[in-house]
Amino acid sequence: MKLDFENKYKNIYFVGIGGVSMSGLAEILVQKGLKVSGTDIKESASTKKLENLGIKINYGHAYENITPDIDLVVYTAAVKEDNPELVSARDKGIDCVERAVLLGSIMDDYARSIAVAGTHGKTTTTSMISEILLAADADPTITIGGTLSTIHGNIKVGNSEYFVAEACEYHDSFLKFDPFVAVILNVEAEHLDYFKDIDHIRKSFKGFAENTPESGYVVINSADPGMEYITKDLKSSVVTFGRSKEKSMWYAENVIHNPNGTNTFDVYFEGRFMGHVTLNVPGEHNILNALAACAASTAVGIKMSSIVKGLENYTGVNRRFQYKGTFNGAKIIDDYAHHPTEVKATLAAAKLVEHNTLWCVFQPHTYTRAKLLLEDFGKAFEDADRIVLADIYAAREKDTGLIHSRDVAEKIKSNGKNAQYIGDLNLIVEYLKNELKPGDLLITMGAGDVYSVGEALVNM
């Protein structure tokens, strides 16, 4: 669906304008010369930035916020149908579109667009590709689900044919995109409050791949169990990446694990040496993310010299293995991991960093995820020495009473690990004050507000 900003939609209103993706899209439209306004629950650094760009923001959702001069209302999948502003817009006959429709429409304006999808690694890989395009002086437009220090935020508006964005599968949002390059990092059971099962998820990713034009590319992890199903009968070219050179077009060899957890390795494409890569972010999973970035960047015409430079320039985004500081000689890291696979990968990366005791404070994210993936969570913490469980972060959900963070702690303990439930974040801070020793490594982990534990310790 192509939105007509030239003639029809000149005054756009965002419901939930302060969100990471929504704020970025609002900024892009302002740069295009359109009138933008919106609403959010409370003031934040993001809303302040938008207000400095001249965007009027209402704090608190209200029926009267939607005025007749508004041409288009944009909302996210998290906004409920009874939201007073959505109700108001529809009462007034104003067109309403979900955020993904707007992003897909914007993406259509760029000949060399890259959309990065997958259950894990979207923000990191999108950021890696962004660094590569910046290193190549390609002047891309970028929208990321996190803060990248190089662009001082999550958005950059460029003046070229290059566009890179995250593509989220939740509520089939990414089916609104028709990218020139579709990247699929991995496909696992996630967002089970929407998807029925893994087959439903794979069908959705297949639809995403099928949206890529015949002249375009689908970049996909060769180790993903659903790869053959997803790529069958695609009209576009398929490019694979992975650790197996027998199964992958892009792969890594001569991997060296450094004492700080980072890696250096040689990149190969179909048996041909392409370049030597140094990553400044830790973890085996980031080798795969870097290979995906190599494949996607090459597909849009970027030279390997710029790819190597861009990957070395990438030092991470906020809440992705982010160094926060120290407390009592213990190093404190924060990470967004909230799915068992992400937890396992992050702790595996942490294990390679020199330390005495590896602590993990984990805050489960949503009751649905905690309940449906309980067995997997129980096995995900094998690389941690001490695990502390915070209360479940509800996010968009209500407590059903069917799952508790204590259950997660018990499941981890049943797998032979030292896990305990404390619950309240302030109580966790008090506990760690007396337990952390010099040389320890603490990771606060989860998609909620668990990062505040590390920040409280660092600021003591």
DSSP assignment string, 361-416: EE--B-HHHHHHTHHHHHHTTTT-SEEEEEPPB-TT----SS--HHHHHHHHHTTT
Torsion angle defined by CA atoms of residues 214, 218, 223 and 227, in that order, rounded to the nearest 10 degrees: -50
Which residues make beta-bridge pairs with 267?
252, 275
Are 276 and 294 within 8 A, CB to CB?
no
What's the pLDDT score for residue 20? 80
Q: What is the pLDDT of residue 231?
A: 97
- Host H or E run for residue 101: helix 99-107
At 400 the pLDDT is 86
CATH topology for 322-458 is Protein-Tyrosine Phosphatase; Chain A (3.90.190)
List the one residue out of 375, 361, 431 whose CA is nearest residue 403: 375
- E strand or H helix at 252, and its extent? strand 250-257
| Count of residues in the chain | 460
Residue type, 282: P
Catalytic residue numbers, as ranges:
122-123, 166
pLDDT of 6 higher than 80: yes
Nearest to 189 by CA among 342, 40, 398, 323: 342
Using an 8 Å Cβ cutoff, are 296 and 219 in contact?
A: yes
**CATH architecture of structural domain 11-98:** 3-Layer(aba) Sandwich (3.40)
Question: Between 277 and 351, where is the model more confident?
Answer: 277
Q: Specify the DSSP element, H or E, that contains 431.
A: helix 425-435
Tally of CB atoms within 10 A around 307: 28
Return the pLDDT at 317.
Answer: 74
Of 242, 169, 171, nearest to 208 by C-alpha is 169
Reduced to 3 states, what is the DSSP secondary structure of residue 38? strand
H/E element, 148: strand 141-148
- pLDDT tens-place string over residues 404-434: 999 999 999 999 999 999 999 999 999 999 9
Sheet with 358-362: strands ordered across: 322-327, 330-335, 441-445, 358-362, 386-390, 418-423
Where in the chain are the domains? 11-98, 110-313, 322-458
Distance from C-alpha of 52 to C-alpha of 416, rounded to nearest angstrom: 53
**What would the two tokens of residue 4 be?**
């007509």
**Residue 169: its pLDDT value, please?**
86
Segment 111-129 shows an average pLDDT of: 94
Region 439-446 average pLDDT? 96
The pLDDT score that the predictor gives to residue 161 is 97
pLDDT for the residue numbered 26: 94
In the Cβ-directed half-sphere of 57, how many Cα atoms lie within 13 Å? 25
Q: Which helix (H) or strand (E) holds 262?
A: strand 262-269
pLDDT at 388 over 70: yes
Q: Cβ neighbours of residue 108 under 8 Å, at least 6 residues apart?
A: 2, 178
Mean pLDDT on 182-200: 85
Q: Which CATH homologous superfamily contains domain 110-313?
A: Mur-like, catalytic domain (3.40.1190.10)
Is the model's pLDDT at 311 over the cut of 80?
yes
Residue of 328, 358, 316 lying closest to 146 (CA atoms): 316
Q: What is residue 456's predicted lDDT score, i.e. its pLDDT?
A: 96
75, exposed or middle or buried, with CB in 10 Å at 0-12, 13-18, 19+?
buried
Residue 63: DSSP 8-state? G
Q: Alpha helix locations (H) across 188-245?
A: 198-210, 227-231
Residue 417: phi and psi, rounded to 5, are -105, 155
Residue 14 has pLDDT above 90, yes or no: yes
Q: Can you give the pLDDT at residue 154?
A: 84
The confidence score (pLDDT) of residue 332 equals 95
State the pLDDT at residue 85.
Answer: 97
pLDDT at 192 over 70: no
Percent of the chain with pLDDT over 90: 77
CB atoms within 10 A of CB 84: 16
- The pLDDT, as a whole number, for residue 76 is 87
If we measure between CA atoms, which residue out of 255, 253, 278 comes closest to residue 267? 253
Across 320-337, average pLDDT: 91
- Average model confidence (pLDDT) for the chain? 93
Q: Considering only 45-59, 207-221, 299-313, 314-328, which range has the smallest mean pLDDT?
A: 314-328
> Could you report the per-residue pLDDT of 76-100, keeping only the tens digit for each?
877 889 999 999 999 999 999 999 9
Range with lowest mean pLDDT among 11-15, 83-87, 280-284: 280-284
